[in-house]
Structure 1
Amino acid sequence: MSSVWQYLTLGLDREIFGIDIESVHEILDYRVPAALPHAPPFLVGMIDVRGQSYPVIDLRTKLGLPAIAVTQATRIILLNIPMGDREMRVGFVADRVIEVAELDSAELEPAPDVGGRWRSTYIAGIGRKGEAFVVVFDLKALMAGDDPALLMPSLAA
């Protein structure tokens, strides 16, 4: 039995990723986060949104992609990610937000585990939107690990 789920699709580099819309709280224009000393490279700082603090993660760095300059299209996506008995508030920096797309859960394919580009542990599935592939994040797994999600060529060999 198939069911259709909604995902916020975002672009990083030439890739399209999907985040379950249930976890999305708000989408903001980019603002410079306050830096945190001794933070891992992917944690660019903190922002305050109406009295709530959000750590901000650069998805490019988290995924092992090269950094780029902020553009007019850069957004911070505020998420509430269920993590066991609590919700984690976090902001993801994305190159661009594309749209809310519907993907049929029955048509989501598992992440290939045959030397692909991405660590399959961070991927809930791969869907299609028209001719494009949408890599759907497993947000809990993505937030639990400190390793880059992009496999380095030397590791994939």
Structure 2
Amino acid sequence: MSGAEIAVASTQYLTFRLGEETFALDVAEVREILDFTTVTKVPRTPSFMRGVINLRGSVVPVMDLRLKFGMSATEQTVNSCVIVVELTIEDDQVVVGVLADAVQEVIDLEPEQVEPAPRIGTRLNMEFIVGMGKHNGGFMMILDLDKIFQSSDLATDEAA
């Protein structure tokens, strides 16, 4: 068996919607999907941290990617849900809930179906996008949640 055979393995992604855009996460990061539930607000947290939920006795922070990406806050609808993921933040495994407008499906993408993240000058930080997946004639942004939530705004803002 050559190393090339290993490199062509497909990867499974969970696709979800934020507004009109489709995003994807590696299914290996996803623990479960919950109905949108009551979120308890926590004072003095970043705006994209909507609060915490009780997940079988554990406190799990809930983040709103729509706010993180400069969109309007996620509204609770019949399709809204919380995607529970496991992240690595500063070498610790952390369980976090991520709000989504709707979960779509789990898909397989072959390496040739994933383009590198677009380079749009130096003003936009695209490091949290692993790549652009091509599926059924459309594109989806494949996210690196570790990078999204390790970025400077999880710490105190020192660049004021």
TM-score (norm 2): 0.84
- Tell me the SS of whatever aligns to 1:121: coil
Aligned partner (choices 97, 113, 132) of residue 91 of structure 1: 97
Letter in 2 for 1:99: E
CA contact 2:65–2:98 (8 Å) conserved in 1: yes
Give the equivalent residue in structure 2 for 1:140.
Answer: 146
Aligned partner (choices 8, 16, 20) of residue 22 of structure 2: 16
Matched, 1:36 2:42: yes
Quote the RMSD (CA, aligned, Å): 1.9
Letter in 1 for 2:109: L
Matched, 1:6 2:3: no
Point out where structure 1 has 5 or more consecutive residues left out of the alignment: 148-157
Deviation at 1:114, TM superposition (A): 2.3
CA contact 2:74–2:100 (8 Å) conserved in 1: no
Deviation at 1:32, TM superposition (A): 1.8
Deviation at 1:21, TM superposition (A): 0.3
- Tell me the SS of whatever aligns to 1:44: strand
Work out the percentage of aligned pairs sharing the same amino acid.
35
CA contact 2:113–2:135 (8 Å) conserved in 1: no
CA distance in 1, matches of 2:61, 2:28: 19
TM-score (norm 1): 0.86
Deviation at 1:134, TM superposition (A): 1.2
**CA displacement 1:83-128 (0-9 Å, x = unmatched):** 464211100000000001111134311111125xx73111001111
**CA displacement 1:68-94 (0-9 Å, x = unmatched):** 521100000000123464211100000
Point out where structure 2 has 5 or more consecutive residues left out of the alignment: 1-6, 154-160
- Tell me the SS of whatever aligns to 2:71: coil
Give the number of equivalent residue pairs.
147
CA distance in 2, matches of 1:146, 1:76: 24
CA distance in 1, matches of 2:89, 2:150: 9
Letter in 2 for 1:6: Q
Aligned partner (choices 128, 131, 134) of residue 125 of structure 1: 131
